[in-house]
Homo-oligomer: A and B are copies of this chain.
């Protein structure tokens, strides 16, 4: 509250004690609001601390307590696309218990990852959050038993680990069900990446996500006794693929009144081609995307309905799971966080 003028160097507890005319032990108790200190003394110590802009030394404290009130985050997400919201959610959750976050970027390099790990362990983090950038399970990370680990977004391949992931199968089903509820029956699907090799880079994204979303979409279609309109094609997550795939549908005279695009990029490409051909959205063809990317969906023309994977919520849940584990109640297995439909004008009911 008070406008603290920061002095030249840090004051120690010993200096505060001296200034207040008490012993080290008493000063410690007074500042930590422990009992068995007279009100007068407590007041004097607090004043002395204020005067000297005393800041307790966290290193010394955790040397004694054995914990650091901090967690380590290792991410392989260069773009920050998943990492940022997850971190935001995690910080939200951890903030309550005064936790800090130590960030390390492994850039997808396993060796670098191990280096970062040692680094964080030497700093005695109370827990570890491993944030991946795709939904394909990643290898288990070998860590000491006494530090809990939670995997976020990219789950661990080891079912005994605790992982928090998004539910792309549900997302796929949700997209289709929404279109059906809008009165559409002839639903085309434009897939994302389908590279089965490991050669998927950032722009291509994860084939697992496209398969999961497809699976959910097919399930929902079948439950409604429907089949997708036209063939489902995969290539990339990009706008240009969205344009190309839409042209294919149109030029091959596929009869469709809605399109599920497996990403917002694809959806934008799709919309621009429909626009070119004078097809009304959503009247003639409704379009729905995935990921609800703020740069692409809300301000499209018309605004694009999209399925939000709730990455921030993943951060919340993961942080809560980590806190639980730190407090002796570890979770096991993969927990899926539900996605959310964000309806906009590209899928208005007929």
Partner-B contacts on A (CB < 8 A)? 3-10, 53, 55-60, 62-63, 68, 70, 73, 78-80, 83-85, 87-88, 91, 98, 100-105, 118-124, 142-146, 238-240, 243, 265, 269, 272, 275-276, 293-296, 299-301
Contact yes or no, B84 A88, CB < 8 A? no
Q: Which residue of the partner chain, among B59, B91, B105, B272, contacts A91 with CB atoms under 8 Å?
A: B105
This protein's copies in its complex: 2
A98 to B116, CA, bound (A): 9
In the bound complex, do residue B122 and residue A55 qualify as a contact, i.e. CB atoms below 8 Å apart?
yes
8 pairs, CB–CB < 8 Å, chain A vs chain B = A6-B144, A57-B122, A70-B102, A100-B104, A101-B103, A238-B299, A272-B301, A293-B295
The CA of A272 and the CA of B273, in the complex, are separated in Å by: 11
Q: Would A118 and B301 be within 8 Å (CB), given that A8-B146, A10-B146, A142-B4 are in contact?
A: no
For A8, the closest partner residue in chain B by CB is B145
A4 to B300 alpha-carbon distance, docked (Å)? 52
A63 contacts B55, CB within 8 Å? Answer: no
Alpha-carbon distance between A75 and B56 when the two chains are bound, in angstroms: 23
**Given A79-B84, A101-B102, 15 other A-B contacts at CB below 8 A?**
A6-B145, A7-B144, A55-B121, A57-B122, A59-B63, A59-B123, A73-B103, A87-B103, A98-B119, A100-B103, A101-B104, A272-B272, A272-B275, A272-B301, A295-B296
Q: How far is the CA of A88 from the CA of B79 in the complex (A)?
A: 9
Contact partners of A294 in chain B: CB under 8 A: 79
